[in-house]
Amino acid sequence: MRIDDVLEKKLSCLPASRVKDAMIYSVTAGGKRIRPNLLYEVLKGYGCEESLGDDFAAAIEMIQTYSLIHDDLPAMDNDDLRRGKPTCHKQFDEATAILAGDGLLTYAFETACGCTADAALTKRAVCILAEMAGPKGMVLGQNYDMEGEQGITGFPQIQKIEKYKTGCLLSAPLMIGAVLAGKSDALVDQWHEIGDQIGLAFQVQDDILDVELTSEEFGKSNSDTRNHKATCVSLLGMDQAVKTMNDLYQNAKDRIASFDDFQSESLIVMIQMIQDRRK
């Protein structure tokens, strides 16, 4: 996979340390690489070379991995299993895991700044990445999620949480791909909305799989069930959750297919593969 080669090249040149080992362990632990591949698919759909997105694709996967390392920590979800392997703080230790997350987050922006696109487009894309990952985006969603543990009583609360916690890092590659392809702010905003839909669908799907699969089959701890946390399935029921997930994915695919200047087939196939996933 292209992104694996890019990540190996970026991470291998770091100075030797236990933190570097923990960063590489977490990045190479078997992730689905959904976010970087979404970026590549948008670039291809607009007729651009994949190589244009390499630095941002690697940066997004680093940020995604950092967020999982920190999400698994004892102070957050306190999970022992991620992608079928011990979580970073279990494989190493809590302090090293914190530093590995910090290292991936900061190195992501150094990596993104190496993009070969026009400087103005690179700056615009870096700003999107920072917004989607930071206190207006994913970090805000994580905050909402922690507050929600005190009592979620309805699906709209989950929608609000996942718009930021999950949706932002799925919107980022779509938006950045459009930016690097030189598209307008209005079109970038439409990609943001599509990412929000995919993000919510993805979380509803995770909640479904959390019920249907064992932690070994799912590849991560069933912590929401263990912690009696409100989920899309517990609030909507299984049948309505499945319908909601399918409707959200279909709406996203329909919107992508409606773009006049975008070759949508390959990206739609990828989204269908996400919709069909079992882990």
CATH of the domain at 88: 1.10.600.10
**Is the pTM of the predicted complex or chain greater than 0.85?**
yes
Which of 42, 87, 82 has the alpha carbon at shortest distance from 60? 42
- pLDDT band (50, 70, 90) for residue 153: confident
Count of structural domains, the chain: 1
Domain assignment of residue 224, given as a range: 2-275
Q: Which amino acid is residue 273, in one-letter code?
A: M
Tens of pLDDT, residue by residue over 62-87, are 999 999 999 999 998 889 888 788 99
Tens of pLDDT, residue by residue over 113-144, are 999 999 999 999 999 999 999 999 999 999 99
16-30, 162-176, 214-228: which has the minimum mean pLDDT? 214-228
Tens of pLDDT, residue by residue over 206-264, are 999 988 876 665 555 555 555 567 888 988 999 999 999 999 999 999 999 999 999 99
Tens of pLDDT, residue by residue over 189-218, are 999 999 999 999 999 999 999 888 766 655
